[in-house]
Amino acid sequence: MIRIAIISDVHGNLPALETVLSDINDRKIDKIICLGDLAGKGPSSAEVVDLVRNRCDSVVKGNWDYFMTEEKADVLLWHQNKLGLERLEYLKSLPIYNEFYISGKLVRLCHASPNDIFHRTYISTDLEERLRLFEPSDETQQPADVVGYGDIHGAYLDNFDGKTIFNAGSVGNPLDMPLASYAILEGMYGSKSESSFSVSIVRVPYDIELAVEHALITDMPEKELYINELRTAVYRWKANK
């Protein structure tokens, strides 16, 4: 049996990432996969990218990772300058999904969708659209049995039509409750034979005020919006409605 930690949406929050990695280490988890959005929003994008590269076995691209390498905007420039050219090239090179078999199930992991890093899916999205995430990919030409993703910053687990879908939530910018979250898969890695398999969601308290301090000592853009999200777990634009 193997246990795999699925982390996502760190968004430059180093204290949250370090706490989650410590929890993963305490649980003696075998592999770590990151589902993107390493950079942006928070003050420590460079440090987060370096730590993720060092600790994760594989990483897929998020929409913010795309923005960092392909877009020009004032809100991005500060983070892009902190990242530097080599880290930006790393983010640009990331694949958009990862597939593997575990306990007889084909698992597909992506940031938002295996075909589109901007295609957003919620637990409330209609069944037909959610099932599209399971359609055969270019890599295996097989429909997935399990899909895991990030993007929406809200962890959940659901089963329907013999399929399992889960969202790992957000390590550094959770918008469902002010606790970092990640997922754990457990089963026989690489096996196409059916055997015991599980998916679970882990919530991890971390030092939010330390993350706030990291932001306050910088001149990063949208600082107050970011800090309010950390403290309240309420999306910045929703809070203003």
Q: What is the pLDDT of residues 175-190, one digit of tens each?
A: 999 999 999 999 999 9
Query: What band does 141 get if pLDDT is binned at 50, 70 and 90?
Result: confident
Whether 241 shows a pLDDT value over 60: the answer reads no
H or E stretch covering 65: helix 63-70
Strands 31-34 and 2-7: parallel
14-64 residue pLDDT tens: 999 999 999 999 999 999 999 999 999 999 999 999 999 999 999 999 999
Query: 35: closest CA among 178, 158, 151, 177?
Result: 151
pLDDT band per the 50, 70, 90 thresholds, residue 238:
low
**CATH number 3.60.21.10 is the correct assignment for the domain at 2-233:** yes
Q: How many helices (H) and strands (E) does the chain have?
A: 8, 10
pLDDT, position 236: 84
Q: Which two tokens stand for residue 37?
A: 């959005």
> What pLDDT, on the 0 to 100 scale, is given for residue 233?
96
Q: What are phi and psi of 142, to 5 degrees?
A: -125, 145
pLDDT of residue 115: 87
Q: Average pLDDT of the chain? A: 95
The predicted structure's pLDDT at residue 138: 78
Q: Which of 91, 106, 170 lies closest to 139, judged by CA?
A: 106
Read off the pTM: 0.95
Range 87-107 average pLDDT: 97
| Beta strand segments in 87-234, E | 97-102, 105-110, 146-149, 156-160, 163-167, 180-187, 198-204
Residue 139, pLDDT above cutoff 80: no
**How big, in percent rounded to 5, are the helix, strand and coil portions of the chain?**
35, 20, 45
